[in-house]
Amino acid sequence: MSTRLARTVAVIALVVGPLSLIVGNVLQWLLQPAGAAPTATDVAAQFPTAWLALGLLSVLGPLVWLGGLPAVTALATERGRLLTWIGGLVTGAGLAAGIGHLAEFFGAYGAIAAAGLDGDARGAMEQATGDEPIGNALLLLFLIGYSLGPILLTIGLRIARRVGVWAPIAAVITAGANLLGGPIAGIVQLVALAVLWATIVVAVLRSPARPIGIGRATDASEASTGVSSRA
């Protein structure tokens, strides 16, 4: 695979990943089930096709997103390199945990809805699903990685002078809004998320077309010969 093609694939992954999260959140806001106190099971029961589509989008989106992270960590070749790599690893770990959590979440409540249980049995299953330790551990890892990872990543990229100062600010706003919750915070989060990853996508597009992961060797070669690829 050519370096230009690899960069194109990475850019597509970095667009599709965040976009899937944005679209998924908007779809969840639009799915309003009937009932005095509707639960996730009610959503899955009343909108089964939309629930399945939303589940697939929520699981496959982060999976694609992971494919673009190596190109992002490769942007910092000297200054900020270590922090960028740490941020990329934490972000990747958070997305991987999110895949597991979301697969369990959508699968479990979809199965409860399809089982057609009565009120008491359904309530017991919902309680057990909500208390399930593996899913909760994955959720915690996702929240930590999704919040902290991009902050470290963008600070490293800022040190490397690959992104503007607004990128770390957008990462902090995204993390804060994600932890606060609520409709207003949700809208702020999605806007900040779009700004954050659009900035990173632009940085990847502007990067020299070279194999991912050999930036340091390339820079060292340029320094020894006195020739720069950006000259």
pLDDT for 12-21, tens place per residue?
A: 999 999 999 9
* Cβ-contact 159, 172 below 8 angstroms: no
Q: Which helix (H) or strand (E) holds 170?
A: helix 166-180
Q: How confident is the model at residue 9 (pLDDT cuts 50, 70, 90)?
A: very high
Quick one: average pLDDT of 54-69?
95
Which of the listed ranges 28-37, 52-61, 121-130 does the model predict with the highest average pLDDT?
A: 52-61
Check pLDDT > 80 for residue 87: yes
Q: Which long-range contacts (CB under 8 A, 24 or more apart) does 2-7 make?
A: 3/209, 3/210, 3/211, 3/212, 4/209, 6/71, 6/211, 6/212, 7/71, 7/204, 7/205, 7/207, 7/209
> Which pLDDT does position 4 carry in this prediction?
80
> Which pLDDT does position 7 carry in this prediction?
87
> Which pLDDT does position 209 carry in this prediction?
59
* Cβ-contact 34, 46 below 8 angstroms: yes
Check pLDDT > 70 for residue 228: no
Q: How confident is the model at residue 78 (pLDDT cuts 50, 70, 90)?
A: confident
pTM, rounded to two decimals: 0.83
Check pLDDT > 80 for residue 214: no
Quick one: average pLDDT of 69-91?
93
Q: What percent of the chain has pLDDT over 70?
A: 89
> Which pLDDT does position 24 carry in this prediction?
93
Check pLDDT > 60 for residue 192: yes
Q: Which long-range contacts (CB under 8 A, 24 or more apart) does 218-221 make?
A: 218/77, 219/77, 219/78
Q: How confident is the model at residue 227 (pLDDT cuts 50, 70, 90)?
A: very low
Q: How confident is the model at residue 2 (pLDDT cuts 50, 70, 90)?
A: low
For 136-180, the pLDDT digits (tens) are 999 999 999 999 999 999 999 999 999 999 999 999 999 998 888
DSSP annotation of 163 reads S
Q: How confident is the model at residue 210 (pLDDT cuts 50, 70, 90)?
A: low
Distance CA 202, CA 81 (A): 18
